[in-house]
Copies of this chain bind each other. A is one copy, B any other.
């Protein structure tokens, strides 16, 4: 057989950042490498030929009525160990949150059993939420960081994983930091090599990521060494950049320049770099991001708690910065990019219209800031793929078959659709606003099914029980 899997159904993907393409009743032909080799329209001659050849075989999947294909989501910022505290202690400032809650939790990932339990749960949960690719911060521990990569490999998620570096003895607690700078760099290199070896037997790919936690937690030597490792092994790089008033100011005080330029000075802004938050980039920072190909990871839920502002995402994107979305577990409580898509739209409208009712309407907000749900979806899919420089996030030939199948008719989570002829673009919006893990019936990565939910007949009973 020429194709290894064929799907028949309707898919939605980003045509551009603002426009959704509806691919109605097409055939999606997946090759042995898990790539979309061909998308065939009903009016094409080949359509019936393929149907005749594959219809009824085990490789043929026809979507049921009310089911639709979306690209899998790309989550560009997950602190994997923080899943254990997601949803707690969000009411305190970043600095206290890190020291009172987060560092103690992360330090527990020296325990491989604990790490295994939490990481297994997290990767399954993200898949169940439609996330097919995730860019992870693990912890300082080399062993359990590698375990996270192994769990991604095993469960079929495309995982990009970093062993976190935080070596500054002044800025990090004694119980949770790298032993010293030299060890931090050695272990990072060992980690890179181990993940590259793991990648050789992992179809969907796993990737090592150079991961200075953020400038405040690292020495100059560590930052410089990490920049060199990124160049030596051509890896992805991730960190935080200009997140809050506090961080932004801390870096300026230390280096007399903005976070972006400081990171760039250490060789950490590269085509494959993703910087989380970036709320306080100024115009020259933005140009530097564009020039180096560095992407911004927008984490709208987390920003409400820790970034003291809303990322001006419409402005950055219009200038040409690559943008993706991140949950930022657990600065963001939710494991779902659906929730972050919604919050990205909501936050952008708050920036557009302003928040303070005592100010006149014309100076309350920042005109030109709002984004549509289509744009937020773009960031969660195609934008994430561009940010990582990988062929993911679109339903398009030569892209990976990384998809989620949404069922709008699950009885216990039925979407409010009452018109059999409702516009497909309206149904698309209803899916983005209403779909929950219950509606995500199957998730495929690189042509392989990695998650499914049974129970389309689950019951809601009301009245007279």
Binding site for B on A (CB under 8 A): 83-91, 114, 117-118, 121-125, 127-128, 154-156, 245, 279-280, 301, 304-305, 308-312, 333-334, 342-343, 345-347, 349-351, 353-358, 361, 364-366, 372-373, 412-416, 418, 426, 429-430, 432-434, 436-438, 448-455, 458-465
Q: By the criterion CB–CB under 8 Å, are B121 and A414 in contact?
A: yes
Copies in the complex: 2
19 A-B contact pairs sorted by A residue (CB < 8 Å): A88-B426, A88-B429, A90-B429, A114-B418, A121-B416, A304-B350, A309-B354, A309-B357, A310-B356, A334-B433, A350-B355, A355-B355, A356-B366, A412-B438, A436-B438, A451-B460, A453-B458, A453-B460, A455-B459
Which residues of chain B have C-beta atoms less than 8 A from A433's C-beta?
Answer: 86-88, 90, 333-334
- Complex Cα distance, B302 from A345, in Å, reads 12
Which residues of chain B have C-beta atoms less than 8 A from A353's C-beta?
Answer: 308-309
Look across to chain B and name the residue whose beta carbon is closest to the beta carbon of A361. Answer: B245
Give chain B nearest CB distance to A438 CB in angstroms.
6
- Complex Cα distance, B67 from A196, in Å, reads 43
> Contacting A347 at CB < 8 Å: which of B84, B114, B154, B350?
B350
Most chain B beta-carbon neighbours within 10 Å: one of A83, A85, A414? A85
Give chain B nearest CB distance to A61 CB in angstroms.
13
Look across to chain B and name the residue whose beta carbon is closest to the beta carbon of A128. Answer: B460
- Complex Cα distance, B412 from A117, in Å, reads 15
Which residues of chain B have C-beta atoms less than 8 A from A351's C-beta?
Answer: 355-356
Which residues of chain B have C-beta atoms less than 8 A from A125's C-beta?
Answer: 416
Q: By the criterion CB–CB under 8 Å, are B462 and A156 in contact?
A: yes
- Complex Cα distance, B453 from A458, in Å, reads 8
Q: By the criterion CB–CB under 8 Å, are B155 and A357 in contact?
A: no
Most chain B beta-carbon neighbours within 10 Å: one of A90, A121, A156, A413? A90
Q: By the criterion CB–CB under 8 Å, are B458 and A454 in contact?
A: yes
Which residues of chain B have C-beta atoms less than 8 A from A308's C-beta?
Answer: 353-354, 361, 364-365
Look across to chain B and name the residue whose beta carbon is closest to the beta carbon of A463. Answer: B155
Q: By the criterion CB–CB under 8 Å, are B355 and A354 in contact?
A: yes
Most chain B beta-carbon neighbours within 10 Å: one of A342, A350, A366, A416? A416
Q: By the criterion CB–CB under 8 Å, are A430 and B87 in contact?
A: yes
Q: By the criterion CB–CB under 8 Å, are A304 and B349 in contact?
A: yes
Q: By the criterion CB–CB under 8 Å, are B343 and A346 in contact?
A: yes
Give chain B nearest CB distance to A310 CB in angstroms.
4
> Contacting A437 at CB < 8 Å: which of B89, B127, B412, B465?
B412
> Contacting A416 at CB < 8 Å: which of B84, B245, B373?
B84
- Known contacts A305-B349, A349-B304: does B128 contact A91 (CB below 8 Å)? no
Which residues of chain B have C-beta atoms less than 8 A from A347's C-beta?
Answer: 304, 350, 355
* Top 6 A-B residue pairs of the complex, sorted by shortest distance between their CB atoms: A87-B433, A304-B346, A87-B430, A155-B463, A310-B355, A333-B433
Which residues of chain B have C-beta atoms less than 8 A from A413's C-beta?
Answer: 437
Give chain B nearest CB distance to A352 CB in angstroms.
9
> Contacting A451 at CB < 8 Å: which of B122, B279, B346, B465?
B465
